[in-house]
Structures are given as C-alpha cells and as structure tokens.
Structure 1
Amino acid sequence: MAAQTKLNHPVGKDQGPADLAEAQRSAALRPRHTAAAALAGIIQEQQTKREQAHREGLPALSRLVTVALRNSGQSRICGRFLLGLYNGEAFPFNLVSLRGLDDELHQDCLRVLTLDASPVKEVHEYIHGGQQVWNQLAHLWGDRTHG
C-alpha cells in the first residue's frame, strides 16, 4: 500500500500536503508579482520620460519664446507654433511651417511638443509672466493670415 501511495502522490516523498499547498499558493501569486513588477517598471519609465521632457523642454521653450518675440521669419514660425500649443482653435498652426526653421529651433519645437504631450500645466504657465508674453505673441503673430 505504501508503494501505491507513492504512485498516487505526484509531489514526491519529501513534500507533504502543507508543502504542496505552499507551492500552489506561491505559483498562484507569481503572476501577480510579475504583473505588479511590470506595472511598476512602466510607471517608472513614464516618470523618467516626463522628467526628461521637462529637463529638455523647459529650456527649449525659453529659447522659442526669445526667438518668437523678435522680428524674423523664424520668429513668426516660433510664435505661431507657441500660440497653436496655447490655443489651437484660435491659432491654427500649419506643421509644414516647421520646415522653415533651422535644425536647433526645429528640435526645440519637438522638445516643447513632448513637454506639452502630458502637461503638468498650460504651456504659457511655464514662463514667468506667461500670460503677458502670450498676449504679446498674439499681437505679433496672431493674425490668421500669418498661418
């Protein structure tokens, strides 16, 4: 009969019912721990990307505002881009216009766009006196004929 018990008991002779129950609980929890670890990794990765977007986007925004307040073709494009982020309905922006920027300003637009992808606050609120600055941009570049 002892031999028959061994054959019917797949766990083996050194594991008893308590060990089997613990192994089953552990196996059942493993997917949850794996999913929780994966979720924690995704959250950490998103946080790292947000931090990078702020680290790169804020100086880029400052550079774009500086250029937008000047009087050149690139100023118009930067100003229209910033106004479009601020209020795309009131200030539509033609993305093809970005082709008129030098490489560094083009990259700055992409950095600011990344910053604004998951906004912590409105784009103009990142700049000291932002509302006044955006009012000035609207005065300079807000005419829809500037496209």
Structure 2
Amino acid sequence: MSDALINALSDFWAYQQRRPIIIKTGVQALHRLIPIALSRTATGKAVGRFLLGLYDGVTYRFDLKQLHRLAPREFEDCLQVLEMDYMPEVEVHERVEEGENLWRELIELWRSQPLGPVHPRSAPLNNVALHAKHRAPIEAKGIEAFDHLLQVAERGTHQSRIVGMFLMSLIYRNHYRFNLSDLRGLDIKLFEHCISVLRMDYFLYTQAGKP
C-alpha cells in the first residue's frame, strides 16, 4: 500500500471522527444564517446566494469575494455550513424544518439579483484585537495551503480543474463565479486547504482598510 493511499485513508478516518461535531456546528450556523439570508440587505444577498450555491451550485454559481461583505461571525458561520456540506448525508435545505419552503423563498428573493462589487472595509474596532491575535497562524496556514493548491492546479486532473476555478474566483474579483458543490469532488486535505485560503483571504481583505 502506497504512502499516499495510507495518508488518504488516515485523513478520511480522522475526518469521520470529527464529522458529528461538524454536523452539529454546521446546523447551528445554518439556523443563524437563514434569517440573514431572508433579509433584504447586502449581507442578506451574499448569504442568500451562498446558500443557494450549496443548494444548486450549477444554477447559482457564487462569487467567493461576496464573503467579504460579511461580519466575522457570519463569515465563520458560512465556513461551518460549507464544511458540513462537504460530505453531505442530506442536502443543505433538508437540515432545517420547512427547508423546501425556505429555499423557495430564497430563490424568489435572490435568483435574479446582481451581486455587485465589493469594496474593502476595516475590521470593526471590537474585532481588531481578535484579528491581531490570530493573524500569524491564519496567514501561515493560508499561505501554505495556497502554495499547495497552486501546485495541484497545474497537474491537469479533475481535482486540478476544481482547484483552478476556486483560485480564479478568489483572484479575479467579480469575474468568476464558482460552483460550491464542486468542492465535494476534492479529497479531504485539499478541501481543508480551500477553507484555510478562504479564511486568510477574508482576514487580509477586512484588514485592507486599516491604517
């Protein structure tokens, strides 16, 4: 048995051990996000389109830069829902009561709404200390993950295509919209690298307006 296969099996086993808490925190986050997604605000639009992207990634491709619109708690909630959706036992709308009706409302509200540009903003003052505390590990982990994803994107495999489109949506703002359900096609380590890069990207962007 090759080292690569052994490592992949080890990663899968570790992930399965974490899966119950991933589901629990993901469902809790989803319940917090749904009221936001149904609000007629810029934040609601971003969250609504994100949830639609998990529901039908082909029809509702998502501009990853729209995550910059969110406050830190909302952003982390989106990541938790995304992690829950990685190996879904059920589809995202089935995680909540009356999910079909709720997602029908989201479709009616946001399916034809343009997403518009996102502008850098400073982190809220009460989050500055928190950001400073976590800056080094977020950047270090994100840079390592980004470098690895770049290497994967050059390999010409099915996973390379997914990783390439993921990176293009982050690098070229408002031009590439990503099929969020494609992330399910990545192995566990690559998926976790994508989460690390999303977190680094969000952190750096929210810091852009600080002096």
Q: TM-score, normalised by structure 2?
A: 0.48
Larger relative contact order, structure 1 or 2 (CA cutoff 8 Å, min sep 6) = 2
2:84 is the counterpart of 1:115: yes
**Aligned residue pairs: how many?**
111
* SS in structure 2 at match of 1:117: coil
1:80 is aligned, of 35, 49, 52, to: 49
Conserved 8 A contact 1:74-1:100: yes
Which residue of the partner structure matches residue 70 of structure 1? 39
Which residue of the partner structure matches residue 22 of structure 1? none
Which residue of the partner structure matches residue 107 of structure 2? 138
* SS in structure 2 at match of 1:93: coil
1:102–1:45 distance in 2 versus 1, CA, 3 Å: same
Conserved 8 A contact 1:61-1:112: yes
1:44–1:75 distance in 2 versus 1, CA, 3 Å: same
Give the drift of 1:144.
5.4
What does residue range 1-147 of structure 1 map to in structure 2 within 5 Å? 44-143=13-112, 145-146=114-115
Deviations 1:61-88 (CA, angstroms, capped at 9, x unpaired): 1111111111211111110000001001
Output the aligned Cα RMSD. Answer: 2.2
1:51 is aligned with what amino acid?
A: P
Q: TM-score, normalised by structure 1?
A: 0.68
Conserved 8 A contact 1:86-1:123: yes
Which whole-Å CA distance do the structure 2 matches of 1:40 and 1:92 have between them? 31
Larger Rg: 1
Percent sequence identity over matched residues?
Answer: 35
